Structure 1
Amino acid sequence: MSRRLLGAALAAAVLAAGCASSSKPKPAPLESFTAQLAARPVWNASVGSVDFPLMPALRGNTLVLAGGDGRVLALQADSGRELWRASAGTQISAGVGSDGRFASVVTRDNELLTFEGGKLLWKQRLGSRVVTAPLVAGERVFVMGVDRVVQAFDAIDGQQLWKLQRPGEPLTLLQPGVLAPFKDTLLVGQGPRLAAVDPLQGTLRWEVAVALPRGANEVERLADLVGPAQRNGDVVCARAFQAAVGCVDAQRGSLLWAKNVGGTMAVGGDARQVVGADASDRISAWNAASGELAWSSDKLLNRDLSGALLLERAAVFGDAQGYVHFLSRDSGQTLQRLSTDGSAVVGTPMRAGDAVIVITRKGGVFAFRPE
């Protein structure tokens, strides 16, 4: 096992030990509220149990999902109707990326699999474990390992096109990182830095540090960028694990602002606001242009909140008991609360048209329509 992979496993063990501590604070009780936002269930489906932070791939009206047991399926986002179904034949460690035609997942055996319309096209053995969902764009499949090595493959035949391997930190985070498109550029998280890569050649264009890690040891200095990143126009915002939240001008390759704040889950953002929960689930909202704090809320402390989604009126979070919270983006006040299947909401809620889609640990896929 390489030093980087050992480091990733060590970091995961440290984090897991912290989560399993008997002294973990009790979650804040749910407050009573008067609903100020109507929302109704639209459809639900099942993808099997999900033991990784699943972020579905949405292209047009096609929603592609993957379950931990290896099933891969495509649904109509507006109705939940199944379009096709496939199987990886083994457990999945990261999924799923799709451009609407091709869909790719990575198995726990470190194999990259690519499907077209439910048919397996090819497999490729990878050199390290993968926990970040592949990105499929421009008939290419991009993959980033826990060692932060980035590779590109031809989506049609699986031929490796390039590989980018850079010096990195001795420890890396066993949690999905940043791997996203931006115009003609591939954005990747490289430790606490957001890097721009030429998707055709695999060469570095620029990189910007979102956080400056500090600490007495390697675990405390762990500050990898947490995915998914949020893009609005030329601005891309992301969280650096337990270190900072920041926004980058991805056209110029320059840092706009960063705030030192802990936290482990992805932020939500748009042109007006960036919202996220810290390690204790204290929720903060920052002005997207300046980084100035707009408000903070302690209403959902220690409820193991998911990543954040921003709607026109609300910031949306899931929690460990399967509740979906709609909070006023002006004040943090509870506007609505919906239940799912009682298991934890995984990953980050997603917007699909006029619906909000959440996925639970039991594999429930729930679509709600705020009105």
Structure 2
Amino acid sequence: MGKLSRLLLAVLVGAGIAGCSSEVDVYVPVPVPEFENQIDLEVVWSSSVGTGVGKFFSSLHPAFDAERVYAASRNGDVYAFNKKSGSRIWHLDLDDEDENDNRRSARISGGITVREDFDTSVILLASENGWVYAVDGVKGELLWKHYTGEEILAAPAIDGDRVFALSSHGQLFALNMEDGSELWSTGDDSSQFAVRGDSSPVPVQGAVVFYGTADGKLNMVNQERGVLLNQIKVGVPHGSTRLARLNDVNAAPVVISDELYVIALNGQFQGFNLNNPSRPVWVRQYSSVANPAYDLSDIAITDQSGHVYAVIRTDGSERWSNTQLTYRNVTGPAYAGGYVVVGDYQGYLYWLDSATGEFRAKMELNSSGIYTAPVADEDTVYVVSRNGTLYAIREQRQESED
């Protein structure tokens, strides 16, 4: 389908708009919830990462390794900062690359993905212009770039000596990690009427790659040759219009040891055992396009209405639900200590008790809005605003007494 159609659908879904017949019903966001903060939060540091993503769809998010946190803007600015102080370590402008000379910008949309090996790190990004970039995380130097010829919206993935990138037309590319050369490509759902946005591929144990499709399925592909091994139906289309029948698997599947979890738009949330991925252990009626998060016992999800849920991994039963952020374009969740953290379109971050789902704190960061899920590194949460400000936030620490 055309890019304009995908963009329109992203706006419809992201704004909490759904077609129930031949017309479109618009749902108004609830006001910011009012409550007393029960924990004290502080912005440890903040820094600009360029112009951000503006009003465009983007799945760009911060990422970190042992020493650095990385962030990027749509126009190609990529930064590394010291995790503790927030001081800039390096800056790389991918817009300076020759392939972007005649483009509006580098249009970076997929990433950031980090692979850390001892004292080295490599970060991966992908663009709507069809490029995958590998950057030295320590030095900020471009290692290689590969042109796929396909728009890429989702973050690439790394497993061993392979990089995997999924295009917006459902084509999965396997690249050599050392030089970016193409090993194989497979799949195509370009004829699908779909939400703008794609499931990031999830490689497992050097053997297979899982990725979602626009027609409500989860594909399992052999890493060596790109052969389709299995296909799991997750989305369940319903309704009388094409919009109402959307059932994309946009959220990245979650693999935890021998457990597999996958959720679809207008579909189902399913839990599997990797030893038998053809039959779900449990099936529950939730739908989402945002990546889930997990802790030792639960999986947290955010649905299209802005409701946040915690589901028990073993049986899929609901531990709690928080429905007080309805239609506030709530981001995907992140577990940070004993909390689930989400952001919204007005730039608020919320800390929910991971055991009960009750609000524990909120912080207003930036009126341009939070568009992608926070990233948690132990007790520190990193989040980037639409206008390109990166924040490091944590619960205030008590001063030690002498």
Q: Is the TM value for this pair above 0.5?
A: yes
The list of structure 1 runs, each at least 4 consecutive aligned residues, that deviate by more than 6 angstroms after superposition, is: 20-23
Within the candidate set 43, 46, 62, 1:44 is matched to 46
Q: Is the deviation greater in 137-146 or in 54-63? A: 54-63
Structure 1 residue 274 corresponds to structure 2 residue 304:
no
CA separation in 2, counterparts of 1:276 and 1:201? 33
Question: By how many angstroms is 1:111 displaced?
Answer: 2.3
Task: Please tell me the residue identity of whatever aligns with 1:186.
Answer: V
CA separation in 1, counterparts of 2:374 and 2:73? 16
Q: TM-score, normalised by structure 2?
A: 0.82
CA contact (8 A) 1:102 1:155 kept: no
CA separation in 1, counterparts of 2:174 and 2:394? 37
CA separation in 2, counterparts of 1:104 and 1:266? 18
Greater strand proportion: 1
Structure 1 residue 98 corresponds to structure 2 residue 118:
no
Q: What is aligned with 2:213?
A: 190
CA separation in 1, counterparts of 2:368 and 2:157? 28
Task: Please tell me the residue identity of whatever aligns with 2:145.
Answer: K
1:12 is paired with a residue of what secondary structure?
A: helix
Structure 1 residue 152 corresponds to structure 2 residue 174:
yes
Q: 1:250 to 1:77 in 2, by over 3 A?
A: farther
CA-to-aligned-CA distance 1:275-314 (integer Å, 9 cap, x gap): 2232222233222211112222222112110001123422
Structure 1 residue 114 corresponds to structure 2 residue 134:
yes
Q: What is aligned with 1:35?
A: 37
1:13 is paired with a residue of what secondary structure?
A: helix
Structure 1 residue 258 corresponds to structure 2 residue 258:
no
Q: 1:42 to 1:247 in 2, by over 3 A?
A: farther
Give the gaps of 5 or more residues in structure 2: 18-23, 96-105, 397-402
Q: How much identity, in percent, do the aligned residues show?
A: 22
Q: 1:282 to 1:227 in 2, by over 3 A?
A: closer
Task: Please tell me the residue identity of whatever aligns with 1:237.
Answer: Y
CA separation in 2, counterparts of 1:107 and 1:235? 31
Q: 1:194 to 1:249 in 2, by over 3 A?
A: farther
Within the candidate set 1, 8, 20, 1:13 is matched to 8
CA separation in 2, counterparts of 1:303 and 1:20? 8
Task: Please tell me the residue identity of whatever aligns with 1:47.
Answer: V
Q: TM-score, normalised by structure 1?
A: 0.88
1:325 is paired with a residue of what secondary structure?
A: strand
Question: By how many angstroms is 1:345 displaced?
Answer: 0.9
2:280 is paired with a residue of what secondary structure?
A: strand
Question: By how many angstroms is 1:132 displaced?
Answer: 0.5
- In the TM superposition, 1:1-371 aligns within 5 A as 5-6=1-2, 9-16=4-11, 19=15, 24-48=26-50, 49-50=52-53, 51=56, 52-89=58-95, 90-100=106-116, 101-116=121-136, 117-165=139-187, 170-184=192-206, 185-191=208-214, 192-253=216-277, 254-370=279-395
Q: Is the deviation greater in 357-366 or in 176-185? A: 176-185
Give the gaps of 5 or more residues in structure 1: none
Question: By how many angstroms is 1:138 displaced?
Answer: 2.1
CA-to-aligned-CA distance 1:251-296 (integer Å, 9 cap, x gap): 4324232322343323222332222232222233222211112222
CA contact (8 A) 1:236 1:249 kept: yes
Q: Is the deviation greater in 164-173 or in 278-287? A: 164-173
Q: 1:105 to 1:15 in 2, by over 3 A?
A: closer
Q: CA RMSD for the aligned pairs?
A: 2.7
Q: 1:24 to 1:66 in 2, by over 3 A?
A: same
CA-to-aligned-CA distance 1:51-81 (integer Å, 9 cap, x gap): 4122233333433322111011223334433
Question: By how many angstroms is 1:15 displaced?
Answer: 4.3
